[in-house]
Amino acid sequence: MTSLAWERRKGSAARLWRSYRSHRAGLYGLAGLAALALLALTAPLTVGADVQSVTHAPGTALEPPSARFPLGTDRFGRSLLGLLVWGARISLLVGLLAAVLSVAIGTLVGVLAGHYGGWFSTVVMRITDWFLVMPTLVLAIVLATVMSRSVWTVVLAIGVTSWPTTARLVRAQTIAVESRPYIERATALGGGHRHVMARHVLPNVMPLVLAQTTLGISAAILTEATLAFLGLGDPTVVSWGGMLQDAREAGAVSSGHWWYLAPPGIAIALVALAFTLCGRAVESVLNPRLGVGR
């Protein structure tokens, strides 16, 4: 890498940030995410892993919100605020990993299909189409059911079922990039398949991948919560969806214990919203058609 290339990249990053700043919703989303990430990362210091302990639960079961327990307690007498903070770790982790996995698969499939084209592309895209028309949730439920219940199962189940959209987008972008003259020049100068894909196509589809990941995270968090709510998560791990499932099983809905249900539900909605706001802002920054040129 030459220093010139670095300069150029630095410049474009600054440009990117400048235009991102002009999206107020995106800034709100980013601020929300930063706060949440901070909360999740510092959870071991603020609430501590002990908050999950049922044998050392400080309160009695299903206490309403009070000064001691701002969000009340769960069926074991654990502080719901503490659990909410602790649960953010799993929900965010699963969301991030699943989205990264999904986008990684999608990018790989998309670039390969777009680059090689021909019958290979046709076969791969038909498989993609098959996954695309399969309802993600049904597939994820099947996977989560047949595999043992753990966080990794959920990550895998979400990751391998939600990649087709990315694959389609990346393939289209790959074809667009490869039709440019400089790719032809690179090939003429002896660049092989790998060189073209890694050095020219990938950097050009990366912005798209970034936007797709940001948007994918919110979907992944929602799916994780859904799977946990349906009882397909790891019951021994505290997550937001799992808290909802616990609340439902304890009969919180019919007995009016709203403080058991509402916080995790609202948290899920807010995080999904924050990621979506960020993703949308990134997307409109990167998409020239949406009016912000490079």
Partner 1 sequence: MVMVTKVPPRPRPGARPARLRRAAGPLLAAGVTAASLAAVPATAPAAAAEDGKSGGTTLTVAVSQSIDSLSPFLAQKLTSTSVHRLAYEYLTNYDPKDARTVPGFATEWSASADKLTWTYKIREDSTWSDGKPATAEDAAWTFTTMMTDPDAATANGNFTANFEKVTAPDPRTLVIRLKKPQATMTALDVPIVPKHVWEKVGDFSKFNNDRSFPIVGNGPFVITDFKVDQYIKLRPNKTFWRGAPKFDELVFKYYKDGDAAVAALQKGEVSFVPNLTPAQAAALKTQKDIKVNDAPGRRFYALATNPGARAQDGTAFGNGNKALLDPAVRKALFLAVDRATLVDKVFQGHAVEGEGYIPPRFGSYFWKPEAARKRAYDPAAADKTLTDAGYVKNGAGERLGKDGRPLSFRILCHATDPNDKAVAKYLQEWWGRLGVGLTVECLDSVSDPWTKGDYDLAFDGWSVNPDPDYVLSIHTCGTLPATAKDTGATDNFICDREFDGLYAQQAVEYDPAKRAELVKRMQSRLYDTGYMNVMAYPNALEAYRTDQIASLTTMPEAAGNIWGQDGYWSWWSAVPAAGSGGSGSGSSTGVVVGIAATVVVLAGGFLLLRNRRRAGADDRE
Q: Kindly tell me which of 141 and 186 has the beta carbon lying closer to partner 1.
A: 141
- Specify the residue, 9 or 56, whose C-beta has the smaller distance to partner 1: 56
Strand partners, 79: 73
In contact, 128 and 164? CB cutoff 8 Å: yes
| Interface of this chain with partner 1, residues 70 to 99, rule: CB under 8 A | 75-77
- Cα–Cα distances (Å) from 150 to 81, 155, 158, in that order, read 24, 9, 13
Measured CA to CA, the distance from residue 129 to residue 138 in angstroms comes to: 16
The correct pick among 107, 223, 239, 285 for binding partner 1 (CB under 8 A) is: 223
Number of residues in contact with partner 1, rule: CB under 8 A? 67
Name which of 186 and 269 has its Cβ closer to partner 1: 269
209/268 with CB nearer partner 1: 268
157 contributes a contact to partner 1 by CB under 8 A: no
- Distance, CA of 46 to CA of 56 (rounded, Å): 17
How far the first Cα of the chain sits from its last, in Å, is 22
Alpha helices, H only, the chain: 3-21, 24-41, 43-46, 80-116, 118-133, 136-146, 151-159, 164-178, 181-188, 193-195, 202-229, 240-249, 258-286
**Position among 96, 226, 239, 285 found at the interface with partner 1 (CB under 8 A):** 226
Give the binding site for partner 1 (CB under 8 A).
Answer: 53-55, 57, 61-62, 75-77, 135-138, 141, 145, 148-149, 169, 172, 215, 218-219, 221-226, 229-231, 234-236, 241, 244, 246, 248-258, 261-262, 264-266, 268-270, 272-273, 276-277, 279-280, 283-284, 287, 289-290
